[in-house]
Structure 1
Amino acid sequence: MSRITHRTATPGEVAQILDWAAQEGWNPGFEDAPAFHAADPGGFFLAETGGRPVAAISVVNHDAHHAFLGLYICHPDYRGQGIGLGLWHHALKHAGNRGIGLDGVPAQEANYAASGFVLTDRTRRLTGQFAPQEPSLHLARPQDMAALARLDEAATGLRRGAFLHVWLGDSATRKTVVLREGPEVTGFATARRCGTGCKIGPVIAPDPDTALRLARQAAAALDETLAILDVPDSRAAFGALLRRGGFTESFATARMYRGPAPQGNGTLMAVATLELG
């Protein structure tokens, strides 16, 4: 095998990494790559041998204090050779002194713990069908973006405006619905079409019942009924509502942090994406 080299991925290669994720069964959104890259253009990395990319990882710096690790993938033909681990150590340097989060499969918890990551929560992927309904909430407008960013920061403890500017953008495969109380936006949910169904996140709401309404309306805005939500255990009441509606768990991840974890206000009912937190 040729020497392994590491480098930063280009925007087009971020899209290729998400194609790999689709092949792994992760079911990314059709237009996730531009939002991922906008979050931190320098935060996506490849390992190459003989000029061929064989492994990928992201360490996205959301703000001055917090980063998030994801998209940790090695080509099946090159696993078990230390290539992924070498890329892991290379990419972690990008975070500097920031606290780093990740959503890892439980089988890898011990390995992540050995690298200093501590379990803080678990996230359950819940999949089910919403009954078709007429949209009754308004779509987000460009002039809402500042308010949505404030809600997101309060909910997540992260300042990630560059990511949200693209993630919340309106397109044929992506819709964000907002809840208004008078002139004030008090909640929102984003649905994005995937290879299978639509994923809904973030869902930011003052209570579980409102979160369920937002999720249903986000799916309706895309004219989708099959919905997938990643719900933290710390929002078990929202997960219970979904389960009563027939949603079932397909897998769980361990939310772990090395260094300080961001502190939200309890209104994040479903995460935006397991790859970026």
Structure 2
Amino acid sequence: MKSTFAVRTMRAGELELALEWARQEGWNPGIDDAPAFWEADPSGFLVAAIGEVPVGCISVVRYGERFAFIGLYMLHPEFRGKGYGKQLWNKGMALAGNRTVGLDGVVAQQEYYRKHGFETAYRTLRFGGSAQIPDVGDQAAQVTPVTHGKLEGLVRYDEGVFPGLRHSFIRAWCGSPERRKSFMVGGGSRIRGYGTIRRCFDGYKIGPLFANKPEVARALLARLAGEAKGAPIYLDVPADNLHAVTLAQEFGLSPVFETARMYRGQAPAIPLDRVFGVTTLELG
């Protein structure tokens, strides 16, 4: 009896497989991303399978009723070119419903996304390298670790920058110091910025890096980069934020990769001048 192709919600443990495929594709995810990713939307991760054999995946994380973000869209190389990708894509888009949908598309796939109604909002440049950390003077003392008692204020601050509600994700992402290190400037209703660094298969990624002013972002990046202890760091920067591009260059980082933030539907109003580093290319 021939096994049938189907797309279904991921089961526990299958997100780790998807992230392993992402590693094999050279996307360099964090070594412990799965638990926090899952918190973002447990029913937003789909797997394509032939019988019981997973062959592809896509994530369609829904942030409230107005915004969703697509990532982790891939088929195992052995199963490409057979029409499975189109079925997987259609299931994912159906899950998004009438929400505005965002994604970060690699250059080779941008025309494919345009054909499906996505339009480019801005370019994102991944800067990477071993950081040359400048002296930030008195600003260093203002950077403090994120603790559980500070998460509520952090969630509210994030609402003012990210285009959708992601309370559960932020609590998981920034509230697990054994997995990721998060730092902030200010507190309560006066937070002026925050950032997170995590270990990846190659070096470390910093994201998000949100800040009200370039000098706040600079102090945060100095503290975050110090956690890498000389290992390579990577930061995904909206190219339209010229202060962020300049900051990455000041730290000795160079462009290594490019994507485009694309939307289907009305693009959300994001204060890009406060986005010095995207959280992740998989979840927005």
Q: Which interval holds the TM-score relative to the shorter structure?
A: over 0.9
Match of 2:98 in 1: 97
| Mapping 1:1-20, distance limit 5 Å | 2-20=3-21
Deviates more, 1:221-230 or 1:157-166: 221-230
Match of 2:274 among 232, 242, 267: 267
Q: Partner of 1:27: helix, strand, or coil?
A: coil
CA contact (8 A) 2:125 2:255 kept: yes
Deviates more, 1:243-252 or 1:11-20: 243-252
How many Å separate the matches in 2 of 1:186 and 1:274? 23
Match of 1:56 in 2: 57
How many Å separate the matches in 2 of 1:147 and 1:224? 31
1:195 to partner: Cα distance = 1.1
Structure 1 segments (4+ residues) deviating >6 Å: 132-135
Task: Give RMSD over aligned pairs.
Answer: 2.0
How many Å separate the matches in 2 of 1:263 and 1:11? 34
Amino acid at match of 1:179: V
Q: 1:182 to 1:162 in 2, by over 3 A?
A: closer
1:81 to partner: Cα distance = 1.1
CA contact (8 A) 1:30 1:195 kept: yes
Match of 1:205 in 2: 211
Amino acid at match of 2:29: P
1:260 to partner: Cα distance = 2.0
1:130 to partner: Cα distance = 2.1
Match of 1:171 among 174, 177, 185: 177
Q: Partner of 1:61: helix, strand, or coil?
A: strand
Amino acid at match of 2:281: L
Q: Partner of 2:240: helix, strand, or coil?
A: helix
How many Å separate the matches in 1 of 2:104 and 2:129? 22
CA contact (8 A) 1:149 1:164 kept: yes
1:247 to partner: Cα distance = 0.9
Match of 1:217 in 2: 223
Amino acid at match of 1:170: S
CA contact (8 A) 2:55 2:76 kept: yes
1:110 to partner: Cα distance = 1.4
How many Å separate the matches in 1 of 2:190 and 2:120? 35
1:211 to partner: Cα distance = 1.2
> Which segments of 5 or more consecutive residues in structure 1 lack a partner in the other structure?
none
1:132 to partner: Cα distance = 6.5
Tell me the TM-score normalised to structure 1 length.
0.94
Match of 1:251 in 2: 257
The number of residues matched between the two structures is: 277
Deviates more, 1:129-138 or 1:199-208: 129-138
Tell me the TM-score normalised to structure 2 length.
0.91
Deviates more, 1:235-244 or 1:65-74: 235-244
CA contact (8 A) 1:153 1:264 kept: no
How many Å separate the matches in 2 of 1:23 and 1:181? 39
Q: 1:17 to 1:5 in 2, by over 3 A?
A: same
Q: Partner of 1:11: helix, strand, or coil?
A: coil
Q: Percent identity?
A: 40
